Amino acid sequence: MQRYDVAIVGGGMVGASLALALAGSPLRVLLIESAEFGSPAQPSFDERTTALGNASRRIFEALGVWPQIAPQAAAIRAIHVSEAGRFGFARLSAPEQGVEAFGYVAANRVIGAGLWARLTTATRSLTLRVPATLEELEITDPCVRLRLAAAGGEERVEAALVVAADGAHSRVRQAAGIDARVKEYGQVALVANVAAEQPHEGTAYERFTRSGPLALLPLYDGSFTAVWALAPAAADAALALDDRAYLAQLQEQFGWRVGRFVRASPRARYPLSLSRAAGAAGPRSVLIGNAAQALHPVAGQGFNLGLRDAAMLAEVLAAKPADPGAPEVLAEYAHQRALDRRGVIGFTDGLIRLFGDSRLPVGWGRNLGLLLFDLTPPAKRALARVSTGFGGRIPRLARGLPLW
Whole-prediction pTM value?
0.92
Q: What digits encode the pLDDT tens for the residues 251-270?
A: 999 999 999 999 999 999 98
Predicted confidence (pLDDT) per residue in 367-386, tens digit: 444 444 444 454 445 555 66
pLDDT score, position 280: 96
With a cut of 60, say whether residue 117 has pLDDT above it.
yes
pLDDT of the residue at 257: 92
pLDDT recorded at residue 379: 44
pLDDT computed for residue 86 by the predictor: 66
pLDDT category at 210 given cuts 50, 70, 90 is: confident
pLDDT digits (tens, 9 = 90+) for 301-321: 889 999 999 999 999 999 988
> How much of the chain exceeds pLDDT 90, in percent?
66
pLDDT digits (tens, 9 = 90+) for 18-67: 999 999 889 999 999 998 876 665 666 677 899 999 999 999 999 999 99
Tell me what pLDDT residue 339 has: 93
**What average pLDDT score do residues 378-400 get?**
71
Kindly tell me if the per-residue pLDDT of 401 is higher than 50.
yes
Which pLDDT band, with edges at 50, 70 and 90, does 209 fall under?
Answer: confident
According to the model, what pLDDT value does residue 354 have? Answer: 54
**pLDDT number for residue 207:** 87
Write the secondary structure of the chain as one string of H (helix), E (strand) and C (coil): CEEEEEEEECCCHHHHHHHHHHCCCCCCEEEECCCCCCCCCCHHHCCCEEEEEHHHHHHHHHHCCHHHHHHHCEEECEEEEEECCCCCEEEEECHHHCCCCCEEEEEHHHHHHHHHHHHCCCCCCEEEECCEEEEEEEECCCCEEEEEEECCEEEEEEEEEEEECCCCCCHHHHHCCCCEEEEEEEEEEEEEEEEECCCCCCEEEEEEECCEEEEEEECCCCCEEEEEEECHHHHHHHHHCCHHHHHHHHHHHHCCCCCCEEEECCCEEEEEEEEEECCCEECCEEECHHHCEECCHHHCCHHHHHHHHHHHHHHHHHHCCCCCCCHHHHHHHHHHHHHHHHHHHHHHHHHHHHHCCCCHHHHHHHHHHHHHHHCCHHHHHHHHCHHHCCCCCCCCHHHCCCCC
pLDDT value for 88: 63
pLDDT tens digits, residue range 161-174? 999 999 999 999 99
Domains in the chain with CATH codes: 2-72+105-182+275-399 (3.50.50.60), 184-272 (3.30.9.10)
pLDDT of residue 91: 83
pLDDT at 212: 81
